[in-house]
Amino acid sequence: MKTNLTERTKIKVRFSEVDSLKIVWHGNYAKYLEEGREAFGHKYGLNYLSVFDEGYIIPLVNYTIDYKKVVRYGDVIIIETTYFNTDAAKIVFDYTVYRESDMAVVATGRTTQVFLTKSDELCLTIPPFFDEWKKKWNII
């Protein structure tokens, strides 16, 4: 179930992110989605340090991306990060990456993160702080 919790962040493609054809190397999209998660977390109070302060870490366990169009050196991209609600003890985000100049969709993706305790134990139920976070944003 998609929610209305969305954040957009802009990135100007740097020279170090492109190949010899001046096209963004596909591996850099993982970093772009990370930027999107970071921006979302800061806006909605779900950043890595706040989760850590609650006693958990949230490693990425799944990452998918579909490439649609080319992005080149100097382009500005917009990463739209949307929280996808689930009843499971995990955090799922959907992404749409746009090229700012024409708002073409250049990529779409999804990531999944799970909750681990600081001693690396997998949480099979939603941590209380995350349940409260969902209530705060009228997700449950």
pTM higher than 0.85? yes
35-49 as b/e: b if 16+ CB within 10 A: ebbbbbbeebebbee
Helix, strand, or coil here: 10?
strand
What domains are there in the chain, each with its CATH number? 2-134 (3.10.129.10)
> Which residues, at least 6 apart from 100, have a Cβ–Cβ distance to it below 8 Å?
10, 75, 76, 77, 78
pLDDT score of 34 more than 90: yes
Confidence of residue 1 (pLDDT cuts 50, 70, 90): low
pLDDT score of 26 more than 80: yes
pLDDT score of 31 more than 70: yes
pLDDT score of 36 more than 90: yes
Tens digit of pLDDT for each residue in 48-88? 999 999 999 999 999 999 999 999 999 999 999 999 999 99
Alpha-carbon span 40 to 49, nearest angstrom: 13
73-86 as b/e: b if 16+ CB within 10 A: bebebbbbbbbbee
Cβ(89)–Cβ(123) below 8 Å: yes
With a pLDDT cut of 90, the percent of the chain lying above it is 96
Compute the C-alpha angle 60/58/52, nearest 5°. 150
> Which of 95, 21, 24, 104 shows the shortest CA–CA distance to 65?
95
Pairing of strands 116-117, 76-84: unpaired
Confidence of residue 135 (pLDDT cuts 50, 70, 90): very high
Mean local confidence (pLDDT), 117-123: 95
pLDDT at 4: 84
pLDDT score of 132 more than 80: yes
> Which residues, at least 6 apart from 25, have a Cβ–Cβ distance to it below 8 Å?
17, 18, 19
